[in-house]
Amino acid sequence: MQALSVLASGMVTGVGLNAPASCAAIRAALDNFEETRFMDKGGEWIIGCQVPLEQPWRGRKKLLHLVVPAMQECLSDFKNIPAEHIPLLLCVAEKERPGRLSDLDNVFFEEVQTELGLRFHPESMLLAGGHVSGVLAVKRARDLIYNQRVPMCLIAGVDSFLVGPTLAAYEEKDRLLTSKNSNGFIPGEAGCAVLLGPASFTPKAQLFCLGLGFGREKATIDSEEPLRADGLVAAFKAVLADSGCTMDDVDFRITDISGEQYHFKEASLAASRTIRNLKPEFDLWHPADCIGEVGAAIVPCVIGVALAAARKNYLLGKGMLCHFGNDSGERATMILRSA
């Protein structure tokens, strides 16, 4: 088992412009859901969770102003380590996502470095994997830290669903919460980042990532197949094997679920198929209840929420099972543990 320590987090969300403010609001179940400038088919304003930025930026400029402050917050306590020694793993929306900016893959990474005024390690990369890209980034960070001996890795994720073509496409599929559809998600936007190091980095580390797991679900949200949660069950088994843990070692879950019944049903099925010893309770935290659907930013957001809870001692237990999924069927899991 090659554990990673979580050293710092940074957030820019609809409920806070830094990690302490965002995590405090999420802990208190506060949200910033309000009418957007977009209208649904019923003639009502679509409810969303917009980040209160200084200016009404759009496109890549908006994404820059979401993710760069979160990265700066992460790095603020580690200025003694040159950025050239730290790989940046930047997570963005999957290529097939409706309304995705077409030029993200070509220029966005360079724009982030320019905005920060830093040049990161040559092993830095952009991962266009949506919800699961953050877990893929953690996997890559583990390889870089333990096999290539980099001192730490910066994982950042940024996304916005408050884009006209994106909202139109999800409303057409009855995926969006509107005046005509109650089984949908509230669109949001965020930029989040976490800094990971080896488990031995500091004796004061308060949160560790013990293992990762992946799976693929055939009965996706858009398919007609009956849902058995096979993909998430496979990811659960993989993360337990990778971490050397059992379901008895995890006390609650933190997930990317953002309101649709499909995902709650999947989570319930996967838990019932993998838990062998009855748990009196197995709570489910889902930050999207406060910040909306934030796509590729959700994994660093979840890790940041767990870190804040570990530092302030309001976790529901030491072990956390985190799981995430894309519409196309990819499933990813992590086990986090507080010190």
| pLDDT tens profile 241-270 | 999 999 999 999 999 999 999 999 999 999
* pLDDT number for residue 203: 61
Query: For the domain 4-198, what is the CATH superfamily, name and number?
Result: Thiolase/Chalcone synthase (3.40.47.10)
* pLDDT number for residue 153: 98
Summarize pLDDT for 131-168 with one digit per residue, the tens.
999 999 999 999 999 999 999 999 999 999 999 999 99
Indicate if the pLDDT at residue 200 is higher than 90. Answer: no
Computed over its alpha carbons, how large is the radius of gyration of the chain?
Answer: 19
Q: What residues are paired with 10 via a beta bridge? A: 193
Indicate if the pLDDT at residue 217 is higher than 70. Answer: yes
In this structure, are residues 61 and 105 in contact, taking their beta carbons and an 8 Å threshold? no
Distance CA(228)–CA(122), nearest Å, equals 42
Closest CA to 1 of 324, 240, 254: 240
What is 207-338's CATH number, 3.40.47.10, 3.20.20.70, 3.40.50.10490, 3.40.50.150? 3.40.47.10
Indicate if the pLDDT at residue 71 is higher than 90. Answer: yes
Distance CA(287)–CA(338), nearest Å, equals 19
Task: State both tokens at 111.
Answer: 């724009």
Buried/exposed 204-240: b ≥16 CB within 10 Å, e otherwise? ebbbbbbbbbbbbbebbbeeeeebebbbbbbbbbbbb
Going from N- to C-terminal start, the domains of the chain cover 4-198, 207-338
Domains 4-198 and 207-338 share a fold: yes
Share of the chain above pLDDT 70, in %: 99
* pLDDT number for residue 102: 82
Mean pLDDT across 40-61: 94
Mean pLDDT across 321-336: 98
In this structure, are residues 192 and 10 in contact, taking their beta carbons and an 8 Å threshold? yes
Closest CA to 328 of 40, 30, 96, 90: 96
Indicate if the pLDDT at residue 208 is higher than 70. Answer: yes
The residue that leads in pLDDT, 1 or 282, is 282
Indicate if the pLDDT at residue 207 is higher than 90. Answer: yes
Distance CA(330)–CA(336), nearest Å, equals 20
* pLDDT number for residue 301: 98
Mean pLDDT across 235-246: 97
Distance of CA 101 to CAs 40, 82, 94, 98, 330, Å? 22, 31, 10, 9, 21
* pLDDT number for residue 37: 93
Indicate if the pLDDT at residue 235 is higher than 90. Answer: yes
Summarize pLDDT for 259-300 with one digit per residue, the tens.
999 999 999 999 999 999 989 999 999 999 999 999 999 999
Write down the mean pLDDT value for the chain. Answer: 96
Task: State both tokens at 310.
Answer: 């570990």
* pLDDT number for residue 136: 98
Summarize pLDDT for 74-113 with one digit per residue, the tens.
999 898 999 999 999 999 999 999 999 888 999 999 999 9
Task: State both tokens at 37.
Answer: 């400038």
* pLDDT number for residue 1: 72
In this structure, are residues 197 and 7 in contact, taking their beta carbons and an 8 Å threshold? yes
Distance CA(266)–CA(117), nearest Å, equals 43
